[in-house]
Amino acid sequence: MSTPPHADSGEPDDIGRGDDPRDERDSAARGEETGDDIQQPSADATSAAASEDEADGSEPSEPATAAAGRTARSVRAPQQSKGRATTSRKDAEAARQVQPNVFARIARFVRQVVQELRKVVTPTRNELFTYIGVVIVFLIVMMIYVGVLDFGFGRLVLWAFGG
Instruction: Quick: pLDDT tens for 45-78.
Output: 555 555 555 555 555 555 554 555 555 565 666 6
Residue 96, pLDDT score = 78
CA distance readout (Å), 82 to 16, 60, 79, 85, 86: 32, 18, 9, 8, 10
What residue numbers bound the domain in which 150 lies?
93-161
What pLDDT is recorded for position 33? 53
Tell which residue, 1, 34, 32, 3, has the closest CA to residue 20: 34
76 in any annotated domain: no
Question: How many domains are there within the chain?
Answer: 2
| pLDDT recorded at residue 148 | 98
What is the helix, strand, coil percentage profile of the chain, to 5? 55, 0, 45
The parts of the chain modelled with pLDDT lower than 50 are 65
Sequence-distant (6+) residues with CB within 8 A of 68 are: 40, 41, 43, 46
Does 134 map to a domain?
A: yes
Within 10 angstroms of residue 69's Cβ, the number of other Cβ atoms is 9
CB atoms under 10 Å from CB of 46, counted, come to 21
- Which amino acid, one-letter code, is at 7? A
Is 57 within a domain?
no
Whether the CB-CB separation of 13 and 75 falls below 8 Å is answered with yes
Give the pLDDT score at 127: 97
Return the pLDDT at 98.
76
Q: What is the pLDDT of residues 127-136, one digit of tens each?
A: 999 999 999 9
Residue 82, in any domain of the structure? no
**pTM score:** 0.34
pLDDT at 142: 98
- Cα 157 → chain centroid: 51
Task: Check residue 18 and give left, alpha or beta (phi > 0: left; psi -120 to 50: alpha).
Answer: left
